[in-house]
Structure 1
Amino acid sequence: VFCFAEALIADIQKKITEAFEVFDHECNKTVDVREIGTIIRSLGCCPSESELHDLLAEVEEEEPTGYIRLEKFLPMMTKVLMERRYRPIPEDVLLRAFEVLDVNKCGHLTKEELVKYMTEEGEPFTQEEMEEMLSAAVDPETNTVRYKDYITMMVVDE
């Protein structure tokens, strides 16, 4: 059992390090603090903005430099992944949410509807988050979001 746990932790830490290194442009084991949310999401976690803020507070130095060091990020993120925190919302729940927003029941939302819902309801998206979502979700030919296709693309395989 102990060997299995060690192997699991080693595998998790390898994944975290690889994701971190993608954004370590100076190759000095640091990344810009603004990239941490992207790194965390690339590892299959979906924290809210306030949860992300709490995670950053855990790893930021006493003297914030604007950069996060791998040696601080790795143990915190290992714990998050081991505890399976911030799991993505299941596909069927996402689908039901989009269907509620799709008042005409036509299988898609317009770009304008999506922007309105994501920036005016609940925990509003930032400009950056909205642009990121639109670039992935909106079909440039029809200017709509075919949400069944988008959900399939978003779902993280276990």
Structure 2
Amino acid sequence: EAFSLFDKDGDGQITTKELGTVMRSLGQNPSESELQDMINEVDADNNGTIDFPEFLTMMARKMKDTDSEEEIREAFKVFDRDNNGFISAAELRHVMTSIGERLTDDEVDEMMREA
């Protein structure tokens, strides 16, 4: 599911453009060279994009980051628009819509149940 949020055109590859879109929606503002560096770190086949296995590698590395807890807090703040310490269904829908994910009420409800 996370991979498909990045892979906007559904071609199985994440480009620098797609990576940038998601990063900006999460409050980050990486330069083109920073995006390319992020891709290059995990681009095992050197094709300039990230496929699913490479994405898993990238996520595993991110999870090991020493500051990953702070990054998670910052990402949470993006979703928690009213700063009440909780992410409501409306807040979830707003962020997902801002990154181009149109969700049905059932999909939002399912995501809330899984959380």
TM-score by length of 2: 0.40
Rg larger in structure: 1
TM-score by length of 1: 0.32
The structure carrying a bigger strand percent of its residues is: 1
